Structure 1
């Protein structure tokens, strides 16, 4: 049985992850106690949280990855409210409750929120993951970005066993084409030398081409510059160390990775769905490489309580794919003033670096009530962002940002049944935007190419302020039933770099004009979320049911027809349900359901009366049904049905339903375990709803991958 489910009926904190079971043994589960949710920073366990939190454990992630699923697909299948994965290395349109998701690794964002390609879920090796915490709803626990929630990937520390080594190999292929072959190897080693723990992680992986259920090849760049996971190589190195003495604990982690995708032909956007063309790709490979480090010091006997200090630094460079002029890529860079020909170097590279310091103190607060704890601290950060063409020409205004935040969160018990929590976070940003010249560009309209002269964008120094809060309560109606509710706020400064990249003058055809960032820059977005729910935990049956409503006056929408971003009033509502039932000691079933819908003020008249675009809500209703069965001889069989309902709202293209059946089995062989998994068992030919929602005008439809078979063998010694 999967590790999250081992605790169901034994501890109240892990009831929300109704997902397929993939245990590596059939031993009697142990009561391991409730997990502290690191993404909340308060030391709170799940049963005391007045909202929806899900925890997906390493065992489940590894089992599903060995069965052939990507991390973004694993999460979208298991986490109701998270949009289906789009099938690429980017996270375009994979929203959480219709809004942006802040993806963190050990509480740190790998790239700046000022400008990002959102590739984190495709680049972190699953062998590095201890668990993933998903905190839903708007929140500001880690600052800017989490208007829909937080996905915090907690990495592994050094193991308790000295000299523990794991070797994991995997092979995958599609039955319709030999060129779909993918393979990879992961090596991990843990060692302890007295109080010092060390962990080494190495991985190398190659992915083949991708084909739909009818055998048609899916383009290597279906979403215009986003890149894909086809014909790609990725390498990663992870080093972790921890040392403890008395009340002091030190943790360090260093990660380095490189990803490269070779594209052989351009995509053809004149077909429906998008297909591969007969034109050879002329750009450079898609790449992504980064280096990150984090150091954490913890003192459990600090004078004011428990102290945690973390310092981090990241450095990432990302290259997008080269895209031809097309009905989708209708604004591109020319090769000179007055020319309408595309610059052969019009392929962008993004460079981001971040540094920061987080200080968190958890202090007893007996003055406030029984079992009260006050969590407080400060966050300091610095970001540098640049994006250039291959020849070094800036295509966004180079910028840097400083931020300083102070926060406080109080949690306490009222009587024997009530848990109350509330807090505030105040943050200030100092943004420095450099002057730059947006290069000569061409706008393609109805087959006509219009030359847009270079535009001077005047920068400056700007500041943003945000003060947000939260308040919630959990009522223990009985030993098995909790009722919870709360209000929370999150804030986001939308993609600042994108606003400068798409800068246009009042008459873009006239040369010699200027535009000021002060007039085109976005407003900070604050999102208010209300949520109520109940969770039940029994010996054999557990469920969680919640409903939410969120609003914002500065919602962000991308219009693919004009290539512009706008902000306006919006509201989103939805409900989620997860359940798990143990039929018997060796057989479990589970389900999850989610509904989300939203509207916005499309015409700026102050009334929220138009449906949000598909790029924000690619599927209104999603559902999953899971089962697994464990046998005395060590065999584990698992199956799941994943459904994403279509969306048909006025003013937006219609999206079809999609249903995928996945099965897997694992069996002990020799000293290890052999796993065979099949995704899209029936080789269905269908469209990927999230990828097909990224661009609406023109409507670009993208196929979903057909049947894929994965075979893996893992051994620990």
Structure 2
């Protein structure tokens, strides 16, 4: 038994078409202005409004999040729906290859970095339950506002704050696949409480989610990624608490979020056949290794003061403890002759060299500490100059080892960073603002002596310290032609490190006879130059944004897939340029109709002649896409949303102009509604409404026979939230 497309479409469209009946308000009652300027962008370090930042900024507020939660709880999917320059979700535990403007973004929770600079691992997108998030701030394009890692921009998850009232909120949801098969049912629940006393205000929340098996449009089980990590057939739990105390002019706040996600390990992959269009499948069979999992604890202690000698002070001490276990496999990369016939491992096959392979898997551990300090001074000495300045301190210690044999795949590495910065805003003339700044990065990478794995050359590498110094600049102009129209341009530099772990574990990174980390050019930092030109319009009936950008680096860090399905880092020149645009028409006080567009192209230098000549592949650049949406709010607090995602075809060409990969685009449609029910809110959502059968972007462009995955077919989600 399945949902009938015509029935589902009719049910949704029946609710939507009632908007014509509900329109009785006069133009004078229409809410023309969406009041986006009430939000300040904390990730800007100057708490500026979106229209005063000379970059493309996307704010995903709680209303938009709630609309998306009706159909999905996957944050990558949500961000892509609302900021289309972000890659399509892989619908897996891993987010490797998910980029913003073709480069990896810095992901943060309340300003605490979640991205792992030394060994990415592709798990930074699975560190918090969406139920804990109040809004998402996205600053597009490379920048150094928060230092390390923002090559494609910043994605900052802002968590919920205490409301000041004693309140409890409970939410429940269940998702059912089109096939109605019981093992495909997913469900989740969350509970939050908020309150305050004379001494303290607090907000706490817990959530639990159980993901069933994913089915494609043909009602076949989607293949599992047993190595990088699988979100289907998994369970996740999140504990969140925020405590605060307000003094006369200051505030002290503690935030703790503990998140873990565990795959059940009950399904094994069945290899597909990519040349013949046969997808990777799955069979119910216990995995012969520890199933992939994530466990992350993020802690932040923040002190703010509104008046320190006329300035605003902010200090944040943070910590993140990150652990990730990756699934196992029968890999040449992990083979070591000393374990031939050992009882410590389980034999699993023979490779082309006649070596007896065994099951093995890796485990990544990272501990981050940091201190961010900033002072904001407004209108210094009546000059009209605003300044933000401070010092950021950061330490990351990371190691990746093998679970069965105990070998170190990536040696323990410590990265220390010291970064003072200064940012200035000055109104040159009325409505013309100059923004400029400088940030100095002093970083040290410390690694002890170590040996690469047998399969990576069995090389003895001399440890030591590698020191890096970079001075990064930004400058931007923003001009308000009228109160509704703004144009801007900017130049920003971003600072990042290549995936150090992938470099250290690869013997090819050290070609010399007596290799040392001090001699490896591959460890050199990435400095990305981002140039942007844009225009905004915010009117009563229409808002529109358009921006052109160009992002370039002389020594990038392209991810290249090897024969075992692992990624190596290639240091090459790369250039990406693109256009982002969005238009929202406020048709009435209750109807918004909008379109978001992201077009981008990217090339890299394959032969070292300092000229880009080969298209970046699907692990390093997003597809061109158009997102369309229509939202309607009824007078009785019921609301609906329909959205379509159109992904355009693309061919990938090498330096000789020959096609080496292709992407066959597709379109998916989602629809949802929300309505008051008793004292709560009922939501109904359908993802992939018309049950489109497709292979996802990553699988088409980067997939192998073991990772050639279909996208999810039609699913229906029913949710209920009640406050008491």
TM-score calculated relative to the size of structure 2? 0.88
In 2, Cα distance between equivalents of 1:527 and 1:592: 25
- In the other structure, the counterpart of 1:320 is 326
User: Contact 2:364–2:399 (CA<8 Å) still a contact in 1?
Assistant: yes
- In the other structure, the counterpart of 1:657 is 665
In 2, Cα distance between equivalents of 1:106 and 1:456: 41
In 2, Cα distance between equivalents of 1:600 and 1:414: 39
- In the other structure, the counterpart of 2:690 is 682
Greater alpha carbon shift after TM alignment, 642-651 vs 203-212: 642-651
**SS state of the match for residue 584, structure 1?**
coil
User: Contact 2:555–2:573 (CA<8 Å) still a contact in 1?
Assistant: yes
- The answer to whether 1:633 aligns with 2:642 is no
Deviations 1:266-313 (A, max 9, x none): 323452332226875211111111222111111111025111111011
Residue 629 (structure 1) shift: 1.6
Deviations 1:6-57 (A, max 9, x none): xxxxxxxxxxxxxxx9xxxx99868585211111101211111111001001
In 1, Cα distance between equivalents of 2:606 and 2:454: 30
Alignment CA distance shift 1:632-1:396 (3 Å):
same
Alignment CA distance shift 1:565-1:119 (3 Å):
closer
- In the other structure, the counterpart of 2:261 is 259
In 2, Cα distance between equivalents of 1:266 and 1:195: 53
Structure with higher helix content? 2
**SS state of the match for residue 127, structure 1?**
helix
Residue 689 (structure 1) shift: 0.4
Alignment CA distance shift 1:691-1:373 (3 Å):
farther
Q: 1:418 aligns with which of 432, 438, 451?
A: 432
- In the other structure, the counterpart of 1:15 is none
**SS state of the match for residue 64, structure 1?**
helix
In 2, Cα distance between equivalents of 1:570 and 1:284: 38
- In the other structure, the counterpart of 1:286 is 292
- In the other structure, the counterpart of 2:314 is 308
- The answer to whether 1:340 aligns with 2:355 is yes
- The answer to whether 1:642 aligns with 2:645 is yes
User: Contact 1:504–1:515 (CA<8 Å) still a contact in 2?
Assistant: no
Q: 1:701 aligns with which of 674, 698, 708?
A: 708
- In the other structure, the counterpart of 1:390 is 403
Mapping 1:48-197, distance limit 5 Å: 48-110=52-114, 112-162=116-166, 164-176=167-179, 177-197=181-201
**SS state of the match for residue 64, structure 2?**
helix
- In the other structure, the counterpart of 1:438 is 452
In 2, Cα distance between equivalents of 1:675 and 1:505: 52
User: Contact 1:62–1:126 (CA<8 Å) still a contact in 2?
Assistant: no
User: Contact 2:214–2:712 (CA<8 Å) still a contact in 1?
Assistant: yes
- The answer to whether 1:480 aligns with 2:488 is no
Residue 691 (structure 1) shift: 4.1
**SS state of the match for residue 219, structure 1?**
coil
Greater alpha carbon shift after TM alignment, 418-427 vs 495-504: 495-504
Residue 424 (structure 1) shift: 0.4
Mapping 1:259-658, distance limit 5 Å: 259-272=261-274, 273-276=279-282, 280-303=286-309, 305-325=311-331, 331-334=333-336, 336=338, 340-344=355-359, 346-367=360-381, 369-370=383-384, 372-391=385-404, 392-441=406-455, 454-504=458-508, 515-520=515-520, 521-561=522-562, 564-619=568-623, 621-651=624-654, 652-658=660-666
Residue 197 (structure 1) shift: 0.8
- In the other structure, the counterpart of 1:6 is none
In 1, Cα distance between equivalents of 2:587 and 2:186: 37
In 2, Cα distance between equivalents of 1:280 and 1:315: 29
Deviations 1:180-206 (A, max 9, x none): 111111000001102521111100110
User: Contact 2:86–2:622 (CA<8 Å) still a contact in 1?
Assistant: no
Alignment CA distance shift 1:94-1:637 (3 Å):
same
User: Contact 2:498–2:569 (CA<8 Å) still a contact in 1?
Assistant: no
**SS state of the match for residue 113, structure 2?**
coil
Residue 711 (structure 1) shift: 0.5
Deviations 1:227-250 (A, max 9, x none): 121111111111101111211111
In 2, Cα distance between equivalents of 1:103 and 1:557: 19
In 2, Cα distance between equivalents of 1:529 and 1:66: 36
User: Contact 1:67–1:712 (CA<8 Å) still a contact in 2?
Assistant: no
- In the other structure, the counterpart of 2:8 is none
Unmatched 5+ stretches in structure 2: 1-18, 20-24, 341-353, 655-659
Deviations 1:533-572 (A, max 9, x none): 1111111111001101111101111221465321111111
**SS state of the match for residue 185, structure 2?**
strand
Residue 695 (structure 1) shift: 4.8
Residue 414 (structure 1) shift: 2.0
Alignment CA distance shift 1:380-1:505 (3 Å):
closer
User: Contact 1:173–1:708 (CA<8 Å) still a contact in 2?
Assistant: yes
Greater alpha carbon shift after TM alignment, 165-174 vs 516-525: 516-525
Q: 1:711 aligns with which of 697, 710, 718?
A: 718
Deviations 1:660-697 (A, max 9, x none): 0000111111110111100001111101103443457x
User: Contact 2:694–2:711 (CA<8 Å) still a contact in 1?
Assistant: yes
In 2, Cα distance between equivalents of 1:505 and 1:85: 31
Greater alpha carbon shift after TM alignment, 260-269 vs 28-37: 28-37
**SS state of the match for residue 515, structure 1?**
coil
- In the other structure, the counterpart of 1:211 is 215
Task: Flag as ranges the 4+ runs of structure 1 deviating above 6 A.
Answer: 26-30, 505-508
User: Contact 2:272–2:706 (CA<8 Å) still a contact in 1?
Assistant: no
Deviations 1:619-678 (A, max 9, x none): 1x1111100122223322211111111220223311110210000111111110111100
Greater alpha carbon shift after TM alignment, 519-528 vs 137-146: 519-528
- In the other structure, the counterpart of 1:444 is none
User: Contact 1:219–1:276 (CA<8 Å) still a contact in 2?
Assistant: yes
User: Contact 1:220–1:263 (CA<8 Å) still a contact in 2?
Assistant: no
Q: 2:675 aligns with which of 667, 674, 692?
A: 667
Deviations 1:503-528 (A, max 9, x none): 248899xxxx8632234442111111
Alignment CA distance shift 1:564-1:519 (3 Å):
farther
Alignment CA distance shift 1:503-1:695 (3 Å):
farther
User: Contact 1:626–1:639 (CA<8 Å) still a contact in 2?
Assistant: yes
Alignment CA distance shift 1:290-1:141 (3 Å):
same
- In the other structure, the counterpart of 2:349 is none
Equivalent residues, number: 668
TM-score calculated relative to the size of structure 1? 0.89
Residue 323 (structure 1) shift: 2.4
In 2, Cα distance between equivalents of 1:215 and 1:324: 29
Pairwise CA RMSD: 2.3
User: Contact 1:679–1:709 (CA<8 Å) still a contact in 2?
Assistant: yes
